[in-house]
Amino acid sequence: MIRTVAWFCDSHYGLFNPDGESFTRPSPAGRSDELLSIIGRPVKYFSRMTLETRACLAAASLALRTLPAEVVAGNEIGVVSAGHDGCVSADQNYFHDYVSTGRTMGRGNLFIYTLPTSTLGEVAIGLSLSGPTMYTHADRNPLAELVRTAEGLLADGEAGAVLAIWTDLQASVCMTISAGTGGASESLPEVLPLELAGFFRAKAQPA
Amino acid sequence: MSNLHTPVIASSDVLTAYGAGQDALWAGLMSGRTAIHTSERFADRGFISDQVAEVPDLSVLPGESRSIAMLRRSVASLVGKIDPATPIILATTVGEIEFVERSVLDESPDLLTQARPQVLLNRVKQMLGLTGPGTVLSSACASSTAALTRAAAIVRRGEAPAVLVVCCDAVSEFVYSGFSTLLSLCESPASPFDTTRNGLTLGEAAAWAMITRDNAAPAIAPAILGWGNTTDGVHMTAPDRNAGGLSRAIAKALAMSGKIATEVDVIAAHGTATVYSDAMEMIAFRRMLGEPRPTFSIKGGIGHTLAAAGLVQILVTAEALRKRVVPPTVGLHIPDPNAAGWVFGVPVDLRRGKLALSTNSGFGGVNTAIILSHRGDA
């Protein structure tokens, strides 16, 4: 079940944790030092990451800290994501760079973000996670299916907990999925601040 | 957990640089002849290689992508023969990336929406007349293997009687330039596990597999007994030199299957022919399986087909178990000392063809392992 929800977008970031601290704060407007302070640990190559990847990492780190120590210790934490755009924006950035330099060579640092799971790889590296990582976007109720996929990984013993991330150019929302009772409502938009809930409800519809 | 079903690959087909169908793929690999060739396609680009493994005689209509052209040919045999409600999982890394290329080259940003992976999924569903749920799954070069594990999990838990897995990735200027930039390409056809290996060759493929319960499939349909998906969490493009992630994936797959390492008869390796990835795999195999057993890579024959690589090699593995012969690792001449006794440049007869391990790894540190069982003459 969904235990907690963290999010990061241009205007604000926050955490909903029914068993602990919940808050909403203004976003640091892309400043690396403040973003890193939210993440709470040093992250290699942070400055080369796309803005979407940094936002995703921030939301994931907030969410991960809400998992009980006994869940994190000795368990593999998976990371799954969905989002209508996949990584089309990163694809465009890389190819534009490649074309602008004469179509012989692009920047490797841009190319490595051209997979839908590139961001998840950075989350796994940055937060030392070792469970399954996959982008899985359903054409019907993609948000609900994302949660179902995460729950399936738990049920099959593939992970002790899962970070389920909705990626978008404007916001990253990270849910912690683990076994047990309590936690956030399964009706995700109901537990989010009103502004983000509306955005998220709209984004979670089929394309 | 006692009400679990056994998922099997009830039917399948494949399109590779050897041509259409599994027979062509098997014959090509067994011949020891590579389908990798010198291409003029990117001749004026100054890339570090001109080697490629393209699907021959592919008819690409004006305005469409190579991926959809390959998929149309690959799934043709399924049209009209599949329950429209069947769930589908589409595995791809870059999908119809040509639309990104054209949007930049033609300065037509409107084309970008066509590059969304969900658009390709919709095209495939329309092609097959599917009206049930569809999902795009991507996990770098382990995409189709990860998709198989999701499909197998759905069937195993009884959530659906059947799931169709479709995979595809095409050779494109986008991907070729990227791998060239990363210095990952070999100047000659890839030679997995060889002492002289120094990079991969890009290929393209499309494939599909229908995953059903064992009692709804032919007796010879191979069973997916277990799987493991892990992440290194070490580096974005380089493998974990200690093979920790792949080792854990193999351990998880064996544990789920209820089998032990000594029961594995053959290994289908990812075998990209890059120096560190092949070395990492051998560390994992030696650690987790101990004694050598016949191991092969198909990438010297058909190149690295990215998202399709996993499913294609699993279909070859199923054939190897059925025929009790392991295909040669095409391009292998002198095995790396760490792989000697495991990989061969010639076909190897199997004394027992019951159980196989197939593994894939990819960017972002993803690893996937599957335990495949031959049921035919059990």
**Average pLDDT of the residues in B296-324:** 98
Note the pLDDT of residue B378: 42
Least confident of A28-32, B324-328, B352-356: A28-32
* Chain B neighbors of A136, CB-CB under 8 A: 135-138, 150
Closest C-alpha among B235, B266, B215, B260 to residue B375 = B215
| Distance in angstroms (rounded) separating the CA atoms of residues B99 and B95 | 9
If one counts every other C-beta atom within 10 angstroms of the C-beta of residue B368, the result is: 34
| Distance in angstroms (rounded) separating the CA atoms of residues A114 and A124 | 17
Q: How many CA atoms lie within 13 A of B294 on its CB side?
A: 24
Note the pLDDT of residue A85: 82
Q: Are B236 and A118 a contacting pair at CB < 8 A?
A: yes
Helices B309-323/B22-31 angle, 10° precision: 80
* Chain B neighbors of A91, CB-CB under 8 A: 94, 97, 100, 115, 174
The pLDDT tens digits of the residues spanning A129-138 come to 999 999 999 9
* Residue of A183 and B361 predicted with greater confidence: B361
Give me chain B's average pLDDT, please. Answer: 96
Q: Are A104 and B97 a contacting pair at CB < 8 A?
A: no
Contact B315, B267 (CB under 8 A): no
Q: How many CA atoms lie within 13 A of A155 on its CB side?
A: 16
> Which stretches of B221-285 are assigned E, i.e. beta strand?
223-231, 266-268
Note the pLDDT of residue A3: 87
| Distance in angstroms (rounded) separating the CA atoms of residues A116 and B68 | 19
Contact B163, B87 (CB under 8 A): yes
* Chain A neighbors of B174, CB-CB under 8 A: 91, 94-95, 98, 114
Banded pLDDT at A207 (limits 50, 70, 90): very low
Q: Are A117 and B134 a contacting pair at CB < 8 A?
A: no
> Which stretches of B297-339 are assigned E, i.e. beta strand?
325-326
Q: What does the block give as tokens for B320?
A: 């190897």
Specify which residues A7 forms β-bridges with: A14, A173
Closest C-alpha among B58, B86, B71, B269 to residue B167 = B71
Instruction: Write down the catalytic residue from B5, B141, B168, B374.
Output: B141
Least confident of A67-71, B287-291, B332-336: A67-71
Q: Are A133 and B366 a contacting pair at CB < 8 A?
A: yes
Q: Which residues 234-253 of B have a C-beta within 8 angstroms of A?
A: 234-237, 244-245, 248, 252
Q: Are B178 and A158 a contacting pair at CB < 8 A?
A: no
Contact B251, B232 (CB under 8 A): no
State which amino acid sits at residue B158.
G
The pLDDT tens digits of the residues spanning B197-214 come to 999 999 999 999 999 999
**Average pLDDT of the residues in A53-79:** 91
Q: Are A104 and B45 a contacting pair at CB < 8 A?
A: yes
**Average pLDDT of the residues in A166-181:** 82
Q: Which residues contact A194 (CB under 8 A, 6 or more apart)?
A: none
Above 70 in pLDDT, residue B20?
Answer: yes
Above 50 in pLDDT, residue B186?
Answer: yes
Q: Is B366 on the interface with A (CB under 8 A)?
A: yes
Banded pLDDT at B48 (limits 50, 70, 90): very high
Selected residue of A61, A137, A203 to mutate for chain B interface (largest B Cβ count, 10 A): A137
Chain B residue whose CA is closest to A152: B153
Least confident of A22-26, A109-113, B174-178, B241-245: A22-26
* Chain A neighbors of B93, CB-CB under 8 A: 115-116
Above 70 in pLDDT, residue A142?
Answer: yes
- Asked if B141 is an active-site residue, the reply is yes
Chain A residue whose CA is closest to B247: A130
Q: What does the block give as tokens for B124?
A: 């495939």
Q: Is B157 on the interface with A (CB under 8 A)?
A: yes
Least confident of A12-21, B139-148, B240-249, B325-334: A12-21
Least confident of A126-130, A198-202, B353-357: A198-202
Banded pLDDT at A204 (limits 50, 70, 90): low
Distance of CA B282 to the CA centre of its chain: 18
A88, A133, A145 ranked by CB distance to B139: nearest: A133
Closest C-alpha among B36, B147, B156 to residue B88 = B147
State which amino acid sits at residue B363.
F
Read off φ and ψ for residue A133, nearest 5 degrees.
Answer: -125, 125
Above 90 in pLDDT, residue A35?
Answer: no
Selected residue of B114, B182, B236, B371 to mutate for chain A interface (largest A Cβ count, 10 A): B236
| Distance in angstroms (rounded) separating the CA atoms of residues A120 and A38 | 18
Q: What does the block give as tokens for B283?
A: 């560390």
Above 50 in pLDDT, residue B297?
Answer: yes
| Distance in angstroms (rounded) separating the CA atoms of residues A131 and B141 | 17
Contact B147, B163 (CB under 8 A): no
| Distance in angstroms (rounded) separating the CA atoms of residues B210 and A15 | 41
* Residue of B251 and B376 predicted with greater confidence: B251
Above 60 in pLDDT, residue B153?
Answer: yes
The pLDDT tens digits of the residues spanning B76-91 come to 999 999 999 999 999 9
Q: Is B104 on the interface with A (CB under 8 A)?
A: yes
The pLDDT tens digits of the residues spanning A39-53 come to 999 998 898 898 889
If one counts every other C-beta atom within 10 angstroms of the C-beta of residue B24, the result is: 17
Q: Is A83 on the interface with B (CB under 8 A)?
A: no
Q: Render chain A in DSSP notation, one character per residue.
A: -EEEEEEEESSEEEEE-TTS--EEEE--TT-HHHHHHHHTS--TTGGGS-HHHHHHHHHHHHHHTTS-HHHHTTSPEEEEEE-TTTTHHHHHHHHHHHHHTTSS---HHHHTT-STTHHHHHHHHHHT--S-EEEEEESSSHHHHHHHHHHHHHHTTS-SEEEEEEE-SSEEEEEEE-SSS-SS-SSHHHHS-HHHHHHHHHHTS--
**Average pLDDT of the residues in B46-54:** 95
Helices A51-64/A32-39 angle, 10° precision: 30
- Asked if B304 is an active-site residue, the reply is yes
3-state secondary structure of B359: strand
* Chain B neighbors of A112, CB-CB under 8 A: 182, 236-237, 363
- Chains A–B, number of C-beta pairs less than 8 Å apart: 182
Q: Are B231 and A92 a contacting pair at CB < 8 A?
A: no
> Which stretches of chain B are assigned E, i.e. beta strand?
7-16, 19-20, 37-38, 51-52, 88-91, 134-138, 162-169, 205-213, 223-231, 266-268, 295-296, 325-326, 348-349, 355-362, 366-373
| Distance in angstroms (rounded) separating the CA atoms of residues B361 and B231 | 9
Q: What does the block give as tokens for A150?
A: 């995460």
Chain A residue whose CA is closest to B97: A91
Contact B331, B194 (CB under 8 A): yes
Above 60 in pLDDT, residue B360?
Answer: yes
Q: Is A103 on the interface with B (CB under 8 A)?
A: yes
Looking at B97-182, list the stretches that DSSP marks H as alpha helix, in order from N- to C-terminal side: 98-105, 117-128, 143-156, 173-181
Banded pLDDT at A70 (limits 50, 70, 90): confident
A118, A120, A139 ranked by CB distance to B121: nearest: A139
